Amino acid sequence: MCQLLGMNCNVPTDIAFSFEGFRMRGGLTDRHTDGFGIGFFEGKGLRLFLDDKPCAHSPVADLVNSYRIKSTNVVAHIRKATQGHTTLENTHPFQRELWGEYWLFAHNGNLKSFNPPAGKFYQTVGNTDSERAFCHILESLRNRFNTKPATDVLFDAVRELTEEIRAHGMFNFIMSNGEMMFAHASTLLFYIVRKAPFGQAQLVDDDLAIDFSQVTTPDDRVAVIATLPLTANEHWHQLACDELALFQHGDVILRSLPENPVYLSREKGLEIARSQGVGY
Amino acid sequence: MCQLLGMNCNVPTDIAFSFEGFRMRGGLTDRHTDGFGIGFFEGKGLRLFLDDKPCAHSPVADLVNSYRIKSTNVVAHIRKATQGHTTLENTHPFQRELWGEYWLFAHNGNLKSFNPPAGKFYQTVGNTDSERAFCHILESLRNRFNTKPATDVLFDAVRELTEEIRAHGMFNFIMSNGEMMFAHASTLLFYIVRKAPFGQAQLVDDDLAIDFSQVTTPDDRVAVIATLPLTANEHWHQLACDELALFQHGDVILRSLPENPVYLSREKGLEIARSQGVGY
């Protein structure tokens, strides 16, 4: 259905390089032609760009690339609708406020028969399984905690909710409050942590290379999370099936790994997606 | 502190002409140089552009002008901060979800000693009086109505809340759920309803004219609301001090007018704003 991109850093960082490759999958090198969304946290503020035009040809995407917004947390999503018309209200990432913070959520997958009861605090605006999952997570967290709990307590709560929701189907997601970033894999999700010594990277989807040592300081740490690796010459780590990871300040700080972790090949991941009616 | 712009129509309409004049007040013809925001409803979906750059020189504003998004409800705001640094989280319009709909709110004014208790459903992310007012309105509505009430009931509830809040100071605001648009004046707020037969309009702030008969159909109806009239050769209606109006399908459908309505001159309005520490 879609591809995910996340970035979590210890200093505000320009995502243009990663986004350049990612957006190429929106209609040029791939067939994600049903819109996209990208949200940038800047401090407590949030700038969310949504577009129902193909990402590779979108003026909004052009702006994102030329404007060079620096952010510590970015969540992006390219959509290939498996069914139905793409409308703005069904475009990821979704945004809500919880505990006086904005939260963003983007999902790649397909949840079947997932119809949690209508929330008291959060209701869906569109009609996707993804927004239902996001609202259910926030509703459950808000019911359980009046204020934001300690990070490990929050992680355990999100883990429990993730286990409940993924019983309904494929549930790759990225979620952030501008400070930390949750990433969960049902099938395919990769990440890389870039830190000193920085080297050169070459995009898979575009004839573009960057020497990160020229645009970083030795203290910078940048984690990039994506459905499939964006660069050809770097080592990307794969999240295991059913693994939940929490990123902060550009690195993994907590993870919940199944006892016998399974890592899908790209081919197997795409096959499962197809069998669930999810196109990448 | 800022200027407001709203548009409410019966068919999706391009706001580019009005926005062109409005944005000129963001650093060229006026001194609104602390960022801006504009939100477009498209069906149930919402596209919100926020920028802490001066509006007249903002690449986001350029995009808005060139992208020609058609919308039935638009809320925009140019900010001149009276104090403090402008941050993204304090940039209007503010966005929340209520009853499964997105709501936008933009405020021009200054509320003193307005500190409602922390909400159960809505909390502020930034630290403006404006976001506090918005959250208080939504919190009160959500507490009172589990689902969206009839329009006249909702209007009365918003009127009561407006009376409570404006006791704290200047409270010009525009609020919309993508279907209807509330507009309240403490000092200066004007509107115009354009419908057939359409004529020509000339912007106050720019050397730009448009012949609306060339870009409309006879059934179109478009209400534009602004802090000060945007065109020189049309008759704009002024909201009285303490008047609340509700627009739907491009016209006023409900209004609450004080028994002895007072209409401020532009000069008097600006004087009051200055005396409250609010710069236009």
- Answer yes or no: do B102 and A88 touch at CB < 8 A: no
Q: Is the Cβ–Cβ distance between A39 and A58 less than 8 Å? A: no
State the Cα–Cα distance between residues B239 and B263, nearest whole angstrom. 7
- pLDDT higher than 90, residue A33: no
| Residue B193 · residue B13 · CB < 8 Å | no
CA distances from A227 to A29, A153, A263 (A): 15, 27, 13
Q: Would you call B136 exposed, middle or buried from its count of C-beta atoms within 10 A (0-12, 13-18, 19+)? A: buried
Q: What confidence tens digit (pLDDT) does each residue in B16-43 have? A: 888 877 777 665 565 555 678 999 999 9
Segment B69-117, tens digit of pLDDT:
889 999 999 876 655 557 899 999 999 999 999 999 999 999 999 999 9
pLDDT grade for B1, boundaries at 50, 70 and 90? very low
Residue with tokens 């028994």: B259
**Which single residue is written with the structure tokens 């409803």?**
B41
Phi-psi region of B16 (alpha: psi -120 to 50; beta: other; left: phi over 0): alpha
Joined tokens for residue A15: 């995502």
**Res B263: pLDDT:** 97
CB atoms within 10 A of CB B37: 26
Using a CB-CB distance cutoff of 8 angstroms, which residues of chain B are in contact with residue A59? 63, 66-67
Contact A176, A8 (CB under 8 A): yes
Strand stretches in B26-88, DSSP E: 36-42, 45-51, 70-79
pLDDT band per the 50, 70, 90 thresholds, residue A27:
low
pLDDT in the model for residue B28: 55
Q: How many CB atoms lie within 10 A of CB B131?
A: 22
What span, in angstroms and rounded, lies between the C-alpha atoms of A29 and A25?
A: 5
Angstroms from B50 CA to nearest CA on chain A: 6
pLDDT of residue B126 exceeding 80, the answer is yes
CA quadruple A240, A19, B49, B87: dihedral sign: positive
- For residue A10, the distance in angstroms to the closest alpha carbon of chain B comes to 19
| CB spacing of B87 vs A121 below 8 angstroms | no
How many CB contacts within 8 angstroms connect chain A with chain B?
83
Q: Which residue has the higher pLDDT, A280 or A194?
A: A194
Please tell me the distance in Å from A88's CA to the nearest CA on chain B.
Answer: 5
Total Cβ atoms within 10 A of residue B66? 10
Residues of chain A with a CB closer than 8 angstroms to some CB in chain B: 42-51, 59-60, 63, 66-67, 87-91, 95-97, 99-102, 121-126
Sheet holding B45-51, edge to edge: B45-51, B36-42, B70-79, B2-14, B221-226, B190-195, B237-238
Could you list the active site residues of B? 2
Categorize the per-residue pLDDT at A185 as very low, low, confident or very high, splitting at 50, 70 and 90. Answer: very high
Write out pLDDT tens, residues B136-148: 999 999 999 999 9
Q: How many Å apart are CA A164 and CA B24, to the nearest integer? A: 52
Q: Is the pLDDT confidence value at A58 over 80?
A: no
Kindly list the residues of chain B whose beta carbon comes within 8 Å of any beta carbon in chain A.
42-51, 59-60, 63, 66-67, 87-91, 95-97, 99-102, 121-126
Contact A100 B42 (CB under 8 A): no
- The reply to whether omega before A197 is within 30° of 0 (cis) is yes
Residue B148 identity: K
Mean pLDDT, to the nearest integer, of A173-199? Answer: 95
**Residue in A45, A89, A100 nearest the CB of B45:** A89
Cα-trace Rg, chain B = 17
The string over B81-116, giving b where at least 16 C-beta atoms fall within 10 Å of a residue's C-beta and e elsewhere, is beeeeebbbbbbbbbbbbbbbbbbbbbbbbbeebee
Cα A85 to Cα A35, A52, A181, B55, distances in angstroms: 11, 10, 30, 34
pLDDT at A84: 54
> A49 and B49: CB-CB below 8 Å?
yes
What is chain A's mean pLDDT, rounded? 89
pLDDT-based confidence at residue A122 (cuts at 50, 70, 90): very high
**Residue A103 pLDDT:** 98
Average pLDDT of the segment spanning B6-11? 96
pLDDT score for A29 = 61
Give the mean model confidence (pLDDT) for residues B247-262.
Answer: 97
pLDDT at A245: 98
Q: Is the predicted pLDDT of residue A238 greater than 80, yes or no?
A: yes
When comparing pLDDT for A205 and B121, which is higher?
A: B121
Residue A69: predicted pLDDT: 84
Q: Give residue-wise pLDDT tens across range A240-272.
A: 999 999 999 999 999 999 999 999 999 999 888
Q: Is the pLDDT of residue A78 over 80?
A: yes
- Residue in A44, A50, A121 closest to B126 by CB: A44
- Comparing CB atoms, the residue among B87, B100, B123 nearest residue A45 is B87
pLDDT (0 to 100) of residue A211: 87
Statement: residue A1 has pLDDT above 50: no
Minimal CA separation from A12 to chain B, in Å: 14
Q: Name every residue whose Cβ is closer than 8 Å to that of residue B36 and which is 6 or more positions away in sequence.
A: B23, B26, B50, B51, B55, B58, B61, B76, B77, B78, B79, B91
**Region A100-124 average pLDDT:** 95
Q: HSE of B115 in the Cβ direction (CA atoms, 13 Å)?
A: 2
Q: Given A46, A89, A121, which is nearest B121 (Cβ)?
A: A121
- Which residue would you say has higher pLDDT here, B262 or B52? B262
- Cα gap B69→B65, rounded to integer Å: 8
Residue length, chain A? 280
Asked if B97 and A122 come within 8 Å (Cβ–Cβ), the reply is yes
Confirm if A225 and A256 have CB atoms less than 8 A apart: no
Answer whether A59 sits within 8 Å of B66, measured CB to CB: yes
Please state, for a pLDDT cut of 70, what percent of chain B lies above it. 91
pTM: 0.93
Which of A123, A127, A132, A141 best tests the B interface by mutation, with the highest count of B CBs <10 A?
A123
A2 has catalytic annotation: yes
Instruction: Give the mean pLDDT of chain B.
Output: 89
CB contact under 8 A, A43 and B88: yes
Q: What is the dihedral of CA B252, B254, B259, B264, to 10 degrees?
A: -30
Give B-chain residues touching A121 at CB under 8 angstroms: 121
Q: Tell me which residue of B197, B210, B189, B199 sits closest to B252, measured CA to CA.
A: B189
| Other C-beta atoms lying within 10 Å of the C-beta of residue A257 | 12
A179 confidence band (pLDDT: 50, 70, 90): very high
What is d(CA B88, CA B79) in angstroms, rounded to the nearest whole number? Answer: 11
Percent of chain B residues topping a pLDDT of 90: 64
Taking alpha carbons only, the member of B41, B7, B37 closest to residue B177 is B41
Q: Please say if the pLDDT value at position A134 is more than 90.
A: yes
